[in-house]
Amino acid sequence: MQTRTLHEMVRNQKPLTLPPTATVKKACEAMHARRVGAVLVVEHGDRLAGIFTGRDAVRLLAEGLDAAHTKLGAVMTRNPVTIAPEQNAIEALRLLADGGFRHLPVVKDGHVVGIVSRYDFRATEQARMDEETGYFEVLR
């Protein structure tokens, strides 16, 4: 079975992006309005600087930081793992599983193309990943 490329998956996507100077409050409002779990933090138009997720928001609140005054640049994950649009869905699923995260920016030459999350993959892609994982578990 041929899996989709990331380019196919994000071709019409308009990912949520904000600059590092935006506040966490603004990011959370935007994430809530768009019903997404992550913001790609970009500089100079569309160059990826980091990622801010719902997990980061929970951590920030647990630490007692003020979302209205804390800038994304101070709390984002810098230099996140990314994937190129030419790679395929199974490769993205492997990165997500190996890294233990839910969101994966799709980047070409440092420029944001889109973002995928674990929920963007088809059942057949998930099944193939589960099959591979089971196979490698047997080899241990």
Q: Which residue type occupies 49? A: A
What residue ranges define each of the domains in the chain, with the CATH number in brackets? 6-139 (3.10.580.10)
Phi, psi angles (nearest 5°) of residue 73: -55, -25
Task: List pLDDT tens digits, range 35-84.
Answer: 999 999 999 989 999 999 999 999 999 999 999 999 999 999 999 999 99
Question: Do residues 42 and 112 make contact, with C-beta atoms less than 8 angstroms apart?
Answer: yes
Task: List pLDDT tens digits, range 87-118.
Answer: 999 899 889 989 999 999 999 999 999 999 98
Rounded Cα distance between 138 and 127, Å, is 17
